[in-house]
Structure 1
Amino acid sequence: MKQLPTTQSRKTLEKIQSYQPGMPIWEMKKRYGLSHIIKLASNENPLGPSPKIIRAILGALPELHRYPDTHTTTLKEHLADQLEVTPEHLLVTNGGDELIKLISETYLETEDEIVVPSPTFGEYEFGAHLMGAVIKTVPLEADYAFHVSAILAAITNRTKLVYLCSPNNPTGTYLSRQDLTALLNQLPDGVLVVLDAAYSHYATADDYTTGIEFVRQGYPVLVLQTFSKIYALAGIRVGFGVAHPSVIQKILKVKEPFNVNSLAQTAAITALGDVEHFEKALTENTKGRKQLYDAFDEMNIPYTVSMSNFILAKFGPNAGKIYQELLERGIILRYGDTWGLPEHIRISVGTLEENQILIQNIRELLIIVGK
């Protein structure tokens, strides 16, 4: 019998927990013997990709023996036109997660620091741990608002990156243009703000900003966006960053060649041109969000008003039990203990029909389990 490998892994791996996605539909069917599943756990677009995208992907299949364009030239040209920047301001990646990892590899040395509001998306911490950096968390305020002065106070001479997710996952709250301006104007030299605007297309507040206007003005900001949400391309993995060309050039040094496959590039280009599908997804999300708000109000379930395609609702001490009961009924949500919120459940906005089935099941469970 061969001896097991004894090569010592990096110490920083002791701090890293593998990413835990929501339970996939196939696993739910197998585990609970169900034939129909409603997945409202991963903030996906319930309408699916547009028919134009499917046709474009089918048309691109005969060229799969060719390597993709490593510079994503055509996609960057389309994005540059839409965002009013130059292609040199853009970096396209294999989903937003890859961009976060590349930012970490570009800027973080051992014992450097990142500042992260909490609760928020966990991949920022993953990237920092990977590089042996230190994570400084700043709690959001009681209503999950960003605390600009507390964020600034957490910055030290070791801070390299400040991560801001707006709209924030899992709360749905956002950083206003005024607050972002105040933060950037007081930011010490040598600190880069990474503004994760993955859910920006759903935001309707007048004072919301994607942050791209600050990139145009020369502020030290990198804006992250994705095709996984409103464009319904989560399964094909396309994200991108918008920043000053000098920032982009540094990150390009650690990017793998051919990181975005040819079908993904084709799909993203097509998605940018399909305004009708984009508007339909936005309209349906707005209707679905209101449908859930109205139901939660009727059932006296507290929730946080969201600028995104999900809602964080407070079910109280029985939240875990309700989450599990819904799971066994074939409704997948996201339990809040992931973010240290054991009394909360994050609910992705589904179709009106899916939302209604969820509402009816919650009503039944509140009678059985209580709040």
Structure 2
Amino acid sequence: MKWKETIKGLKAYEPGKPIEAVKKEFGLTEITKLASNENPLGCSPKVAAFLRENDFNFALYPDGYAQTMRTAVANHVGISEKEVLFGNGSDEIISIISRSLLSPDTNTVMASPTFSQYKLNAVIEGAEVREIPLNEKREHDLDAMFDAIDEKTAVVWVCSPNNPTGGVTPNAAIERFLEKVPNDVLVVLDEAYIEYVTDPTYQDTLPLFKKHENVLLMRTFSKAYGLAAFRVGYAIGQQSLLSKLEPVRAPFNNTVISQAIIPIALEDQTYIEKCRQINDEGRKQYVAFCEKHQLDYYPSNTNFILFEIKADSNEVFQELMTRGYIVRSGAALGVPNYLRVTIGTAEQNAGLLAQLEEILASKGVLV
């Protein structure tokens, strides 16, 4: 086989272990999965009711233009229907961008740590990857990222709130950055967790794409909307930009069911507000735990939190699994001795923290 040199040695993405696999491995009957930043409350009851009450013709291809879903998203966001691009999750949009712009003759700039799929797709396309450590405030170091841009830079990724650290990059810093970036460099603002932001200083980034033709916003229905299984992500940008990306998109990349339920989900903003409030209360449980035991943590505006455990994160990850809790080891995210935990319900959070307290006490790391 004549494999691309760029994929030799690549490792496949490692998602959190599936619930059934953990049950079987450890002989458990109940598992709490807090590893993949899914909404523990699930989707809106209106979506569930819609699915129970409607049938679909599975013999037909979905609408390649996704008209119903397109209109709903455009109206919700307040943009033109020509200013949105749909993906099979945000992952596909990242792939579309990378396939369209990256090559062995280009480079791409991103923070470190940040979402792993930016780097993976760049490596597949043979592009040089320039990773810039977060600054002392644990935010994207946009000054250093700008300094890394040269005539071969094609894409800059700004993940805000950032995965896996959870922090937002201040709007003023982003605006200053965009004023300096050359127009032929695409800046992607990945906002997968935007619905969870509670920072009072945060401002909507929507005006940025109107002002800058080289700005693309990415959002998703996999997180707060509780629709990860349906794989719908979307990008917002000027029509001239999206027209270059559209030919790279697969023609039927969103299913019939996905296109039908997104308008229903968007109608229930009361549910999204409920999810945000419950998530905020859950986040406080983890902050209190960290402060009680003097453990470092990254301030989060997402539905997960990254915090220190002062122990081998892979060992603690494995021990928690034996007790029925699936989380994410920081070692897999470039942050050893930390765990990234999806914020669950109050009961799930309390149960996990009780088990974690026992484990860390047994290792003698708690104060």
**Superposition TM-score, scaled by structure 1 size:** 0.95
Provide, for residues 288-344 of structure 1, a one-character-per-residue CA deviation record: whole Å limited to 9, x for no partner: 111221122122222111011111001123333222211111111100112221111
Decide whether aligned partners of structure 1 residues 195 and 209 sit closer, same or farther in structure 2, where only a CA change above 3 A counts. farther
Conservation of the 8 A alpha-carbon contact between 1:334 and 1:346:
yes
Q: Which residue of 2 aligns with 1:270?
A: 264
Mapped contact 2:160–2:190 kept (Cα < 8 A): yes
Aligned to 2:254: 260
Contact 2:61–2:252 (8 Å) recurs in 1: yes
- Rounded Cα–Cα distance in structure 1 between residues aligned with 2:120 and 2:64: 26
Q: Which residue of 2 aligns with 1:159?
A: 153
> Structure 1: where are the runs of 5+ without partners?
1-6
**Partner Cα distance (1:326, 1:210) in 2:** 38
Match of residue 277 from structure 2: 283
Identify which of 108, 115, 126 aligns with 1:114.
108
- 5 Å-filtered alignment, 1:1-371, equals 7-14=1-8, 16-371=10-365
The alignment partner of 2:188 has SS state of strand
Amino acid in structure 2 at the alignment position of 1:286: D
Contact 2:213 2:241 survives alignment (8 Å) = no
Mapped contact 2:195–2:272 kept (Cα < 8 A): no
CA distance in 1, matches of 2:71, 2:261: 15
Map Cα deviations across residues 184-215 of structure 1 (whole Å, 9 max, x no partner): 00102310101100001111223324532201
Q: Does the 8 Å CA contact 2:155/2:188 hold for their aligned counterparts? A: yes
Aligned partners of 1:160, 1:187: CA distance in 2, in Å?
11
Contact 1:110 1:131 in 2 (8 A): yes
Deviations 1:209-260 (A, max 9, x none): 4532201223421010000000000111000000111111111111111100
Q: Percent same amino acid among aligned pairs?
A: 35
Deviations 1:111-141 (A, max 9, x none): 3111010000000112112211111100112
Root-mean-square deviation over aligned CA pairs: 1.3
Partner of residue 4, structure 1: none
Cα distance in 2 for residues equivalent to 1:141 and 1:47: 34
> 2: CA distance between counterparts of 1:272 and 1:250?
28
Residue 79 of structure 2 aligns with an amino acid whose one-letter code is V
TM-fit CA distance, 1:21: 0.5
Contact 1:194/1:224 (<8 A) preserved:
yes
Q: In 1, distance between residues paired with 2:348 and 2:45?
A: 21
Count of aligned pairs between the two proteins: 365
- In structure 2, the CA distance between the partners of 1:124 and 1:111, relative to structure 1 (3 Å rule), is same
Matching residue's letter, 1:105: R
CA distance in 2, matches of 1:15, 1:159: 25
Structure 2 stretches of 5 or more lacking a match? none
AA matched with 2:182:
P
- With normalisation by structure 2, the TM-score equals 0.96
Higher alpha-carbon deviation: 266-275 or 35-44: 266-275
8 Å contact from structure 2 (residues 56, 256) kept in 1: no
Moved more, 103-112 or 305-314: 103-112
CA displacement at 1:370 relative to structure 2: 2.4
Deviation at 1:15, TM superposition (A): 5.1
Tell me, yes or no, if the aligned pair for 1:184 and 1:219 is still in contact at 8 Å. no
**Secondary structure of the equivalent of 1:357?**
helix
Structure-2 separation of matches of 1:209 and 1:154: 26
**Is contact 1:318–1:370 with CA below 8 Å preserved after alignment?**
no
CA contact (8 A) 1:215 1:244 kept: yes
- Cα distance between partner residues in 2 of 1:315 and 1:143: 20
Structure 1 residues 154-210: Cα deviation after superposition (integer angstroms, max 9, x where no partner): 101110000011000000111111000010001023101011000011112233245
